[in-house]
Every structure is written in structure tokens, then in C-alpha cells.
Amino acid sequence: MNREKINLEALKKKGAVVLPSMFTMANMAFGFFSILAASNKEYISACYFIIGSYFMDVMDGRVARFVHGESRFGIEFDSFSDFMSFCIAPAYLIYNFVLKEYGFWSWPVSFLYVLCGSLRLARFNLKSLDGENSKKFFQGLPTPAAAGIIISFVLSYSLLEADAPDRKIAVLNYTMPFIYASFPFIMIGLSLLMISSVPYAAFKSANIFKMRSASGLIISVSIISLMIAYPQNSLFIFFSIYALSGFVIGIYLSIFPQKEQ
């Protein structure tokens, strides 16, 4: 009887580890499919595959916590998946979409992004295993946020050739060619931000999305309305604001230090 109980508990434990790993595997698969799509010049599809990786990346963590399936294996496997989906896939996408026009220099710029993304993930893993990660802030720009700027740029730039004037923000639409021309420098900036110590909001608090005030309700409705009206442009705006927000947070924390709870 005791042996059957032990076997049942072992089976449940294995299932708790395997279930979130299925979402992690889907994350990696979408990243790989994005690379295949980009190699066929299907850039919009490549972006949507990476967006699919976002959902899978969110789900694997939530499922792991729900079934109490957190494990060292899960942390390592998730890191490999993120490396595929948020480092290699976006670097290959933007190389084909923009950077290859710059000849030889496109190679080291693309590799710098992949290298810094891998260093960012390795540092995060070590801190996670040692229990040193902050619950409020990330150290350095997260790889999904860096990838978000790349894919949202590709989606926004694609509107220049699309016959959908009502889905474009005019001011951003006019600046897209200039952003396109400066994207090698943007890639270098994203790479350095990933390995920096600049703090970024982690948004791990369950209360952060609760609308407890009129201002919170107005902000939430405004964001949702903008996403519905201008989905591609709004993604680029939000990811860009987040990338810049680290400097604001860093200045604030230097003036008003906070204790980790």
C-alpha cells in the first residue's frame, strides 16, 4: 500500500513538471517557426510566431506555479526556449528585414544582440537559483521586451505598404523610415540594455492590473482603445516606452531607495 502511494506521488510530481514543460516546448517551437518564416521572407508571420512565444512563455510559468511544478529543469529549459524565441529568432528576423543591407557590419551587430541576450538569461538564471532576483524589478532589459521592440517595428513598418490608413498613427508612420535607417544603432542599444543594471518594472504584483481609481480606469481604457484602433503602432509605442522607462526608474530609485519586500 505504501509502495503504491509512493508511486502515485512520484507520478503526480513528474506530471507537475511535464505539464508546464509542454508550454515551454511550444514557446521554443514558435521561435523556431519564426526563423523558418523569416528565411522565406514571411516577416509578418515571423512576428506572429514570436507573439505566440510570448503567450506560451507566460503560460508555462503560471501553470508551473498552479501545479507546484517549479523545478531546476524547468528554469533551464525555459531559458533555452527564451534564447530561441527572444534572442535568435528576432535577431534573424531583423537581420533579414533591415540589417543585411549594411553588409559586413550587420553580422557583428546581429551577433551582439544574441550574445547579450544569452548573457542576460544566464545572469537571470543564476540569480533565480540563488533566490536573489527582485520581485519588483528586473536587472537589465528583459529579452522578451527587447524582442518586442523588434517585432513591433517590423509590424509597424509593414503598414507603410498596407492600404489601411485608418490603422496608422500618422506621426509614427512618418518617422518609420528614419527608425529603419537607425536600426543598427537601436540593436546595439538594446543589446547593451539587456546586460546593463538598469532596473525595469517586473509587473509581478497581482494588484497591478486592478482598477481601484478613476485614473486607473481611464488609463486602462485608453491603452485598450489604442491597442484596438492601432494594434501594430501601439505595440511599438508601448515596448519603446518600457525600454526607456528603466532610466526613469533608475533615477527615481537613486533618489528614493526602496527596500525589497
Distances (CA, A) of 68 to 133, 149, 194, 195: 19, 33, 30, 31
Does the pLDDT at position 80 exceed 70? yes
Helices 43-66 and 89-97 cross at an angle (nearest 10°) of: 170
Cell numbers placing 245 = 522607462
Angle between helices 143-157 and 72-83 (to 10 degrees): 30
Distances (CA, A) of 102 to 47, 83, 89, 150: 22, 25, 19, 17
Q: Give the pLDDT band of residue 202 (cuts 50, 70, 90).
A: confident
Whether 176 and 160 have beta carbons less than 8 Å apart is answered as yes
Report d(CA 255, CA 261) in Å as an integer. Answer: 19
pLDDT score recorded for residue 64: 77
- Reported as a single tens digit per residue, the pLDDT across 238-256 is 999 999 999 999 998 888 8
CATH of domain 2-255: 1.20.120
As a whole number, the mean pLDDT across the chain is 85
Mean pLDDT for the stretch of residues 132-149 = 91
What are the residues whose beta carbons fall under 8 Å from the beta carbon of 76, sequence distance 6 or more?
A: 125
Place 260 in a pLDDT band, splitting at 50, 70 and 90: low
Q: Which residue ranges make up each domain of the chain? A: 2-255
φ/ψ (deg, to 5) at 138 = -90, 150
Nine-digit cell at 55? 503567450
Q: Please give the average per-residue pLDDT across 154-169, as a whole number.
A: 76
